[in-house]
């Protein structure tokens, strides 16, 4: 039973380029969450998606960042016109359809470096 | 607004000792209290969690103590081992919402 998969594991971009991060949830999981971890800090919530729907994007920066979880395929976190401050580890988590206390299972993360 | 405050930032313990990490929160709507363990280069993994209707939960060498009135919960690692060396995060959760609210992390080092 494969866990949450993220790719690429490492991504290097120059300022102004676009970054696309992919997340495939665990089998049977229909809920996806994206978190960002800056160096020496805890993870910060960005967005919560279900298939074809954004449920909560209150943690997403207002500009340049977008996320989707299409009916088919992985969830995508897109960062347009990257800046140095976007350098961080981006983690995706998934959970099964909502129960009372749903554990979120994390992927290994994508480490984005902006030169 | 710092909703979750974790302490200490770092902790060094000898093998066989007890590691204690504390978490204080402000949001009284939190109703699920997990601890996550993260190794370098990996994503966080759920270690142990407690619901607010109990004051203590033990799983092997790991124990959570929960004090609802003080809005605090702590992780105790008994007989700490070098393999426990990792970063630990408290991440209380509001089940009516969707997000885990992570503390800033405690880097635990267990010396052999």
Tens-digit pLDDT profile for residues A43-96: 999 999 999 999 999 999 999 999 999 999 999 999 999 999 999 999 999 998
Nearest CA in chain B to A58: B99
pLDDT of residue A99: 65
Per-residue pLDDT band for B2 (boundaries 50, 70, 90) equals low
User: Would you call A93 and B51 a contact, using CB atoms and an 8 Å cutoff?
Assistant: no
Nearest CB among A35, A42, A91 relative to B103 is that of: A42
Nearest CA in chain A to B94: A101
Q: Is B15 on the interface with A (CB under 8 A)?
A: no
How far apart (Å, rounded) are the C-alpha atoms in residues B40 and A12? 19
Q: Is B42 on the interface with A (CB under 8 A)?
A: yes
How far apart (Å, rounded) are the C-alpha atoms in residues B20 and A38? 25
Of the ranges A30-39, B38-47, B78-87, B97-106, the best mean pLDDT one: B78-87
pLDDT of residue A101: 67
How far apart (Å, rounded) are the C-alpha atoms in residues A53 and A51? 5
Average pLDDT value for residue range A3-12 = 96
pLDDT of residue B3: 85
Buried b / exposed e over A56-95, threshold 16 CB at 10 Å, is ebebbeeeebebbbeeeebbbbebeebeeebbbbbbbbbb
Nearest CA in chain A to B90: A42
* Residue range B56-92, pLDDT digits in tens: 999 999 999 999 999 999 999 999 999 999 999 999 9
Average pLDDT value for residue range B40-61 = 93
Q: What is the dihedral of CA B14, B42, A89, B51, to 10 degrees?
A: -80
User: Would you call B43 and A41 a contact, using CB atoms and an 8 Å cutoff?
Assistant: no
Q: B interface mutation test: which of A43, A46, A109 has the most B CBs within 10 A?
A: A43
Q: Is A67 on the interface with B (CB under 8 A)?
A: no
CB atoms within 10 A of CB B22: 16
Please check the confidence at residue A103 and state whether its pLDDT lies above 70.
Answer: yes
Per-residue pLDDT band for A36 (boundaries 50, 70, 90) equals very high
The pair of structure tokens assigned to A88 is 């961080």
pLDDT of residue A1: 56
pLDDT of residue A40: 77
CB atoms within 10 A of CB B9: 10
């Amino acid at each position: 039973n494969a866990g949450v998969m993220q790719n690429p594991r490492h991504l290097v971009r120059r300022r102004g380029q676009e970054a696309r991060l992919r997340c495939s949830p665990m089998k049977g999981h229909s809920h996806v969450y994206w978190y960002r971890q800056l160096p020496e800090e805890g993870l910060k919530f960005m967005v919560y998606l279900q298939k074809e729907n954004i449920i909560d994007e209150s943690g997403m920066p207002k500009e340049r960042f977008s996320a989707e979880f299409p009916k088919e395929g992985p969830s995508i976190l897109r960062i347009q016109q990257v800046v140095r401050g976007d350098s961080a580890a981006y983690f995706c988590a998934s959970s099964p359809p909502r129960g009372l206390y749903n554990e979120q299972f994390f992927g290994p993360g994508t480490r984005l470096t902006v030169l | 607004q710092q909703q979750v405050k974790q302490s200490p930032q770092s902790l060094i313990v000898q093998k066989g000792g007890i590691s204690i990490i504390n978490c204080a929160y402000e949001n009284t709507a939190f109703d699920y209290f997990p601890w996550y363990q993260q190794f370098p280069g990996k994503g966080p993994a759920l270690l142990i969690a407690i619901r607010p209707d109990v004051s203590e939960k033990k799983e092997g060498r790991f124990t959570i103590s929960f004090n609802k009135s003080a809005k605090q919960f702590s992780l105790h690692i008994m007989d700490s081992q070098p393999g426990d060396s990792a970063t630990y995060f408290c991440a209380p959760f509001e089940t009516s919402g969707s997000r885990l609210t992570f503390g800033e992390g405690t880097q635990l080092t267990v010396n052999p």
